[in-house]
Structure 1
Amino acid sequence: MKVLVAGAGIGGLTTALSLHEAGIDVQVIDRVDELRPLGVGINLLPHATGALTELGLGDALAAGAVATAELVHFDRFGNEIWREPRGIAAGHAFPQYSVHRGRLQAMLLDTVRERLGADAVRTGCRFTTAIQEDDTVRAVIGDPRDGSSREMTADVLIGADGLHSAVRAHLYPDEGPPRWNGIRMWRGVAAAPPFLTGASMVMAGSNHAAKIVAYPLSVPARPGDTVPVNWVAEVQLPEGGQGEANWTRTGRLDDVLPYYKGWRIGDLDVEDLIAGSETILEYPMVDREPLARWSFGRITLLGDAAHPMYPIGSNGGSQAILDARTVAAELARASDPVAGLAAYESVRRESANAVVLANRNMPMDRTLRTVAERAPDGFTRIEDVLTEAELQAITDGYRRTSAVR
């Protein structure tokens, strides 16, 4: 069996490693001319960390990441609302890791080339269309550099090419643009002193107005050193402000900083953190409607191409990794490729779609908005602001979206 994977992101590269481990021949293509370590931070849930550890990547992952110990919510004035242990501290067998997305992708890419060969990932290859035959699928691949095209033949085509998936567009040509929820995000990484435990993820404010998420991406080399801290700002905007859904779009400091003037969360100066970022990325919070079908004969979808979701609960990359491990396992045990893809979809589609929908309706966000409305000037005791049931709703919401799916 030979599998062609379109997309050399986290999902596509993990798929290549998983297929190779299962003894299946695989070729990865990507439309960019050069794969560079772009992006900012990402969190991997324990089940995703476990899957990468199965692939022999546990030590490399640990060397370049922070094992997240807790998640803590604050209001915009730095008053604590709620906290919960994460990863090993929460009793999981594997850590939850905070890691730079570019570093993770580079680690996966290096491992693919080391195990599968230097030509296992080919760049400058843009999927345009596919023709299925009885025993093969022929993918038409364009070269953006000179406009030429050629065919690549495989037994299976997997579209792991992200939110703007060309493979998904081939299967669903009339789908239209992504769905925006009215929230604009700015992201960056800046050097800052360690805060709280040094392995804490913090969230402050409410995305019905302005919210900030921050977590470290490494541990200090020496006492007193700063660490790279990833931050995400979420601001509710009026209708009509969506803009282009492009993760590499550069944002402007003057557009985001006014929302966070004077914000301080314990030892973390939010205003200084944002202002200290060399690069700021800007992006609308978007997803797509869940699909009733991923697989069509010898073609299927994976990761954001199959189930793009709001970045809530650390699920995007984690769900793609679960997809990758499942599709390789099902193709390895199936009697034929079509049956393998059908089995993969039966295992993964409903659960991944459930996460997409759960991320649209997080009780946590409603609770944080309630705190802002009931205590607009801050509070001393959260028990004076929220009932026990309202606090429990935050925990329940995270459990629904971060459980193994």
Structure 2
Amino acid sequence: MSERRTIAIAGGGIGGLIAALALARGGMRVLVYERAARFAPFGAGIQLSPNASRVLYAFGLGKALATAASEPEGLIVRRGRDAQELARGPLKGFMGQRYGAPYLILHRADLHTILRVATEKEIDIDIEMGTAVADFALHKNGVTVLTERDHQLEEHRVAALIGADGLRSTVRARMFGNDQPRPAERTAWRALVPADQLPPEFAANNVGLWLGHDAHLVHYPLRGGSVINVVAVVADAWQATWTGDGWNSPGDKDELAGRFSAWAPQVRDLIDSLPSVTRWALADRKPLRRWGEGAVTLLGDAAHPMLPFLAQGGGMAIEDAMTLGRCLVRGEDVAVALRKYERLRRYRTARVQREARRMDRIYHYSNPMAALRDMVMGARSGQKMIERYNWLYRHKS
């Protein structure tokens, strides 16, 4: 296959694998370079709203999703201090009817497995594990990519390089400098707990959102309802002094319980039932004015890392991948195609980044704004709560 039709992707995460599928099915050869020596289970739950799930169905992944994912009945919002229900928004059935695709919840590792299995069936996709993109050089006919594996460097001449290598993207740093992510001064405490250890209100097939002062908590079922994904977010700046290698560390459940000691008994009981917790630092970056140069561009968190308060990080990477594939497959000059992809994606992803920041403020108000938030939310219908994001869910990549 000619150099023009060979695309390198840095990163074998969700966005990188979806992009590989899109490009391979468009007739291109794809080389995926993944830094990790092997794919291992990671993360916890992921929510896929219709704008993302319709892309996965378009790739023929519906059968696999039917086994691994589920549709929650609804989104139930409660006040943290007394468990009063503030709003109830419809999800199952409603989302498919309204937006043409379902709202899905599943384990992030299960989604990654679905994508990995799909890529393994494509003869034009090669995934090189334990191989990191260390540098690149643009040239007239594409890119020379320098990879590192077992301390050995190797050059590869390709038509384009896609940086899908996450928040700390090497490809991004090579183009725009190694600036640091923007901490949110929040900590997300994450855990998975067997459903049979929880009261019925937590094991039900719903996405639960509890709002308090300077904190919120989310829970929903995974893997056929056998386990419940729990995420508790509090104001905290521990990442400013964190010296570990990653963005997470083992958490102290007693510390977490102390942060929610004034909440409703149901929430305190939930936290007591958690077998262990992991704390995650949260960060994003300001929207970029440009994503690439020449035959190089970015995708997913490498381009537009966002806070999780709109549940769209994975969804935006999935949208990116579909749009990228459509632009490159049309046969235009590679650099021209990449700039078109960027124009199609920059405004939307920047809007989602800003909206996630706005939801961060709303979810974590202190009084009196927290009380006003609860009053406004209680006066709004659950369906209206969903429909205010028509612009997000109706999108077709």
TM-score of the aligned structures, taking structure 2 as reference length: 0.88
2:6 maps to 2
| Deviation sequence 1:90-126 (CA, Å, 0-9, x none) | 3232111111001111111111112237x72111111
Q: SS of 1:110's equivalent?
A: helix
1:107 maps to 114
- Superposition pairs for residues 35-184 of structure 1, below 5 Å? 35-76=39-80, 77-86=82-91, 88-90=93-95, 91-116=98-123, 120-143=126-149, 146-174=150-178, 176-184=179-187
| Deviation sequence 1:18-46 (CA, Å, 0-9, x none) | 11111111111111111112110000111
Q: SS of 1:36's equivalent?
A: coil
Asked if the contact 2:202/2:219 (under 8 Å) is kept, the reply is: no
AA aligned to 1:161 is: D
Asked if the contact 2:166/2:300 (under 8 Å) is kept, the reply is: yes
Residue segments in structure 1 that go unaligned for 5+ positions in a row: 221-226, 377-381
RMSD in angstroms over aligned alpha carbons?
A: 2.9
AA aligned to 2:215 is: A
d(CA) in 2 for partners of 1:197 and 1:272? 13
Structure 1 residues 245, 7: closer, same or farther in 2, change over 3 A?
same
- 2:303 counterpart of 1:310: no
- Superposition pairs for residues 239-254 of structure 1, below 5 Å? 241=240, 243=242, 246-254=246-254
- 2:395 counterpart of 1:404: yes
d(CA) in 2 for partners of 1:184 and 1:301? 27
- 2:288 counterpart of 1:296: no
| Deviation sequence 1:260-305 (CA, Å, 0-9, x none) | 347558xxx4344444444522212210010000121100000010
Q: SS of 1:68's equivalent?
A: coil
2:258 maps to 258
Asked if the contact 1:88/1:94 (under 8 Å) is kept, the reply is: no
Asked if the contact 1:313/1:401 (under 8 Å) is kept, the reply is: no
d(CA) in 2 for partners of 1:106 and 1:289? 31
Structure 1 residues 400, 277: closer, same or farther in 2, change over 3 A?
farther
AA aligned to 1:60 is: A
1:190 maps to 193
d(CA) in 2 for partners of 1:45 and 1:107? 17
d(CA) in 1 for partners of 2:216 and 2:336? 45
Structure 1 residues 270, 247: closer, same or farther in 2, change over 3 A?
farther
1:361 maps to 358
Structure 1 residues 112, 391: closer, same or farther in 2, change over 3 A?
closer
1:335 maps to 332
Structure 1 residues 187, 365: closer, same or farther in 2, change over 3 A?
same
Asked if the contact 1:246/1:283 (under 8 Å) is kept, the reply is: no
| Deviation sequence 1:367-391 (CA, Å, 0-9, x none) | 9656885499xxxxx76x7684799
**What is the CA-CA distance between 1:47 and the residue it aligns to?**
1.8
Structure 1 residues 290, 84: closer, same or farther in 2, change over 3 A?
same
Asked if the contact 1:42/1:98 (under 8 Å) is kept, the reply is: yes
Q: SS of 1:142's equivalent?
A: strand
**What is the CA-CA distance between 1:248 and the residue it aligns to?**
4.9
Aligned residues: percent identity? 30
Aligned pair count?
A: 385
Asked if the contact 1:191/1:276 (under 8 Å) is kept, the reply is: no
Greater RCO (Cα-Cα under 8 Å, separation 6 or more): 2
d(CA) in 2 for partners of 1:303 and 1:229? 26
d(CA) in 2 for partners of 1:363 and 1:184? 12
1:233 maps to 232
Q: SS of 1:249's equivalent?
A: strand
d(CA) in 1 for partners of 2:261 and 2:314? 32
Structure 1 residues 88, 393: closer, same or farther in 2, change over 3 A?
closer
Asked if the contact 1:302/1:320 (under 8 Å) is kept, the reply is: yes
| Deviation sequence 1:174-201 (CA, Å, 0-9, x none) | 4x21112221111111112453793210
Q: SS of 2:314's equivalent?
A: helix
Asked if the contact 1:75/1:372 (under 8 Å) is kept, the reply is: no
